[in-house]
Chains A and B, each alone.
Chain A
Amino acid sequence: MISLTAGALAANLLLVGGLVALVAVNGLGHFWQADIAALVQSDGTTLLGEIADRELDSDESGQPRERWRVAVGNRDLGGSDFRWIDASQVTGESWPSDAGVLEREEWGRFYGFPVAIRNGESVRVEGTEPVWAALPELLRENRASRAAKVDALAAEIRGLNGQIERLRREGRDTNELQVRYEEAASALSAREAELLADVLVMRTADGREKAIPLSQVVRAVRANALGARGKFALYGSRLWEFLAGEPRESNTEGGIFPAIFGTVLMVMLTSLAVAPFGVLTALYLREYARQGIVVRAVRIAVNSLAGVPSIVFGVFGLGFFVYLVGGSLDSLFFADRLPTPTFGTGGILWASLTLALLTVPVVVVATEEGLAAVPRVVREGSLALGATKFETLLRVVLPAALPGVLTGLILAMARAAGEVAPLMIVGMVKLAPSLPLDGEFPFLHLERKFMHLGFHIYDVGFQSPNIEAVRPLVFATALLLILVVLSTNLTAILVRNHLRRKYAGSAI
């Protein structure tokens, strides 16, 4: 029987380790560029792509067979990013050094061989090698001219849009601005068309040609000609894009910066709200309350809050914060925008407050532990000097209990960072048009909706049509979330252990 208990513990540890390892391997693999294989099948067709998986399987008659999952990209031509093939049907396997993969703004990756670069009808570069040689410079050029011509104009249009919106709300005439807006918009589309004129012609493995505008190409990689260093550099570049870039293709590609930003900001706001609440409660329980029915009630409340499912907090947040408080705020201060709600809809403030409520018990319990670790005689020493209770708390007890408070706050932050269910109701969105913090007065926009790592996982993993293609990205996001949560938790555990050790000797 004892072996069973050891086995159960071993199983638990295996599960944790296995899960973290699974996410880590899959998540980190996402940024790695494998070599591109050209696979000739027995029916004469050729596939160009990366072999993503090799799997043993049995066919209909029970005979074992090997199947490969090949990432072939070219969603706009073939429909699906991946292809399962039977390994025994592969008659030729080569690693063409002139093959490349393009990461595009739309339609995902493209595997093929570059043929030419054209501008409209005129050919600028021709031949695989010359194109590979000229491509980086031309891409840079294209990007530079986009930045110079289009981005400024796009910013102007956004500004105009905002002004028009404001004037309309104030009931003023918007005609003049409308005219300017139309002009800018038509100029923009003209310039965009101009940029689209530069195209890269690619040939697929089966000989089809496809013209891809240079402005659509995010990155062109000649995978098989990259050395190990080149691959690591590419890995770093992709990792950076993932962390710091904007999402593309309805979140299924590109970066997750807005989600990271939203998560961090929300966690900060949550801890701002929960810290005073939790610390006051702990102070009450440990320092001010006389043992009795009230303290029992508070303790039961704290423990029950800890056990109430998070979705219930979400429901409460929706009904109370969003509809009741937000709705009242709207009718008092933002009546001119109604019926478009300002605070009467989900937003980062309501999400933070909901999570603050959810994480109060964490802060209370940890702070209480911190307070309990401060010996009673230390308090008496201060009181015996004529200090008031408050002075004793503020100058002696709280500084000594600070690690406990910090532990609580960090644990609360970890909990808040990983929680998704209540946020789905009170403010998270798939794609937020703007960050909740920007250069526009009043800088911090508490009413805005925001993106969140956890919701990103749910949304991209379960709501996107092409699950096979987005899975690596979701793994990478999950890895990031796990890392964030685990590192905050570990910090808390370390701080707490430090606290316990420090007072282990002096506790009465």
Chain B
Amino acid sequence: MQPAPRLEPPPEAAAPNPSAFPVATSRGRLLLDRSAAVLVRAGGFAVVFSLVGILAFLLVEVAPLFRGANVSEPRALSASAGPPELLLADASLARLASVAADGRVTVLDAESGAVQATLPFPVAGEILDVGDAPGEPTFSALLGDGRVIVVPVDWRVDYGEANARTVSAVLGTPVELPLEPADATVVAFSARARASGSAAAAVLSDSTLVVVRRTVRVNDFTGERDEQLARFQIPSPEGVTRLVLDSDQRQLYGADARGGLYWWEIAEDGVRTPRISQTGAPISALSLLVGGRSVVVGNANGDLSIWFRVQSGRAHAELVRAHEISSQGSEIRAIAPSWRKRTFAALSADGSLGLYHSTSERTLWRGKAAGEAAVAAVLAPRGDALFVASANGVRAFDVRNPHPETSIAGLAAPIWYEDYPEPTWVWQSTGGSEEFEPKLSLTPLAVGTLKGTFYALFFAIPLGILGALYTSQLMDPRLQRWVKPIVEIMASLPSVVLGFLAGLWLAPRLERYFPGLLLLLVASPLLALAAGAAFRALPARLRGRLPPGTEVALAAALLAAGAGVSIVLSGAVEGMVFGGDFGAWLQATTGLAYDQRNAVVAGIAMAFAVIPIIFAIAEESLSNVPKTLTAASLALGATRWQTLARVVLPAASPGLFAAVMIGFGRAVGETMIVLMATGNTPLLGWSPFDGFRSLSANIAVEIPEAPHGATLYRVLFLSALLLFMVTFVLNTAADLVRESLRRRYSGN
């Protein structure tokens, strides 16, 4: 900074009192002034930054939800001898097992591709075919003598001397399941084994279906093992070429080359006749998603569809085409499901690869496997790598695919989930089992939010605006000074207290006296009118001498009495109108159930929070209407009410609209009241007697349990973002309205 030059006075013009001060301002003062200016400006901008920062942060947290999968360039792992038939990956992505047609297992380092070990097939015999078990670390082999051998692959983790983690593959005890095909040959088979039992199913060349099941019961006390072998054989439809057994060994799915999709139920005592669905094109690949309920069907045209059983009405359950994936263009050769989510990879005859999610029907990624024809593909158990085998070896793709299940449509539109008869909107973030699929539709929550807001505004708009009208236009200014702080106090009541009162005090009382509330709703305007009439009936001279506020006090007294009487009469009304029991009457006439904590209760409590906001803003905009306008109207002989209705209300109506908008914003974001005064059921519905769950309460309920960065976490951020945007738009719009109103009348 330049030091400011002195203003030299001419020598002969020295001031009469020679100045005791330095004439130039000190650098320190100037520096302080400048830095204070910078600091203050920074403070001002910091608010904008905060707002933009919050928005940006929410966006950054939400954005990954809608990104596709990130799949790396492939790495070549090995040029193994002989093409692998199927692959098995270790969850930690350290090792990969490739099973050759002769049952030999080659264990590769999943990083470098180096061969770690070669394990011979543990059972002697000629191997005709090998098969996988989607979602489980086993593979099975069909031997020439008709036995099916299921081999578990265990991944052993050792921490050696140097605490270095090494993983090795060990083949577990093989399970034998004799198919006893007699003279026929096996056309297709599928087998699974777990501790409680194992099963194999096969279609034979003589059009029969054979299911062999070995159940193991271990006596917990004696440790005795009791093994039983059962064999069922039923005629099979002609031409079944593929079979896949679910992990419970209860459902068996098959496919034929003409496009038929078969579903057999395996009961304790036998196999039920299959239900058949036509898929339309020859099926070339068949697999099961995690949980075993969804069948992924790939056909010769490259189309992929997901089928699961749906029970509609009393009829038998049937397989339906629930989801379709856009075609991959060339015959599907292999389908590799994830073990965790409803994600799967599909491999086509022309080497094209795709990564999809069934429920969201999203195509997450598409690419090329390799030049030559690929034969097998597997997704790592955690879905973080994809391995594709071809005649020349195995290629590995690193997959980053954290949120395959969300799509914008999926958050708003109905989605068809397993076990549901039709597409629907569901919010259910956690379930009992690992196979549970989180259902994250925001629609029920948005509807709940709107429902709560509607009932809040239903009570708040009339009370807030009419009260403001009286206060600003008709009330003695001395009393205004009292009323406004009272409304401010109302605004400051903590919502947790309102919620507590609504949930624990009001809700049980409203349940008993609901007819009384209805009575009060009808009666209170009448009572207010009666109070006004009574007040005006007083002789004018007497009225003038009464203290200001008598009119309000009279109305308050009548309303309080009315409320008391309504409660007392509630039982009588219930008896006369609702046949003695409102809940039963409601159920009988409308089919609606009465929940104790319902939307009306929450609406009343939220109205408490919204009234002061509407009141304050409405009062302000009504007060901004120049007094000259009302005076002019009154001077023309208009009555008080005519002046209000024809002059004041039209002039202030944008402000009243703004008041409602801001009140709406407040109600939309209210959390604690909804949390405490409703049952928090995230069900879609408009009934005032049901509970609901709002977006905001949902965040409060769910986010403590949501792991950082998980899909649920990000979806909750998305709902926060929605709330942010809605209230931002509402508030900004309301602000602009108020500002223009203020400008219009500030001139007068």
Q: A interface vs B, CB < 8 Å?
A: 1-16, 19, 22-23, 58, 62, 276-277, 279-281, 283-285, 287-289, 294, 297-316, 318-320, 323, 357, 360, 364, 386, 388-391, 393-394, 414-415, 417-421, 424-425, 454-455, 457-458, 461-462, 467, 471, 474, 478, 481-482, 485-486, 489-490, 493
Contact = CB atoms under 8 A, between A and B. Distances in A.
Given A12-B467, A12-B615, A311-B723, A319 B503 contact: no
A489 B487 CA distance: 11
Given A2-B640, A3-B555, A19-B493, A304 B720 contact: no
Contacts of A314: 699-700, 703
Contacts of A462: 500, 503-504, 675-676
Given A12-B615, A14-B556, A301-B50, A425 B494 contact: no
Contacts of A306: 731
A276 B671 contact: no
B571 interface: yes
Interface in B481-522: 483, 485-490, 492-501, 503-505
Given A311-B669, A421-B671, A425-B700, A467 B504 contact: yes
B495 to A, nearest CB: 7
B671 A284 contact: no
B608 interface: yes
Give the 9 A-B CB pairs with smallest separation, nearest first.
A309-B669, A3-B532, A7-B528, A280-B43, A284-B44, A418-B494, A8-B466, A307-B731, A421-B671
Nearest to B640: A2
Contact of B497 (A319, A455, A457): A457
A329 B487 CA distance: 44
B545 interface: no
Interface stretch (B24-32, B74-82, B350-358): B24-32
Contacts of A16: 486-487, 489-490, 493
Contact of A281 (B30, B44, B61, B560): B44
Nearest to A356: B50
Given A3-B555, A280-B46, A482-B497, A461 B676 contact: yes
Given A2-B474, A316-B57, A297 B48 contact: yes
B51 interface: yes
Nearest to B556: A10
A412 B73 CA distance: 55
B32 A3 contact: no
B666 interface: yes
A319 B465 CA distance: 39
A64 B527 CA distance: 28
Contact of B43 (A283, A313, A421, A424): A283
B44 A288 contact: yes
B299 interface: no
B738 to A, nearest CB: 9
Nearest to B662: A307
Contacts of A310: 669, 671
A360 B47 contact: yes
A3 B723 contact: no
B42 interface: yes
Interface of B: 25, 29-30, 32-33, 36-37, 39-48, 50-54, 57-58, 61, 462-467, 469-471, 474-475, 483, 485-490, 492-501, 503-505, 524-525, 527-533, 535, 551-553, 555-556, 559-560, 563, 571, 575, 580, 608, 611, 615, 640-641, 644-645, 662, 665-666, 668-672, 675-676, 696, 699-700, 703-704, 708, 716-717, 720, 723-724, 727-728, 730-732, 735
Given A4-B528, A481-B494, A424 B704 contact: yes
Contact of B466 (A4, A311, A318): A4
25 contacts: A1-B644, A3-B528, A3-B533, A4-B466, A5-B466, A7-B466, A10-B531, A12-B463, A13-B556, A14-B559, A15-B611, A288-B41, A301-B47, A301-B48, A307-B662, A315-B58, A319-B717, A390-B37, A418-B496, A421-B675, A421-B696, A424-B700, A424-B704, A457-B496, A458-B499
B700 A421 contact: yes
B520 to A, nearest CB: 10
A283 to B, nearest CB: 5
Contacts of B504: 461-462, 467, 471, 474
A415 B492 contact: yes
Given A2-B640, A493-B485, A388 B501 contact: no
A337 to B, nearest CB: 18
Contacts of B645: 1
B119 to A, nearest CB: 36
A506 to B, nearest CB: 20
Contacts of A294: 44
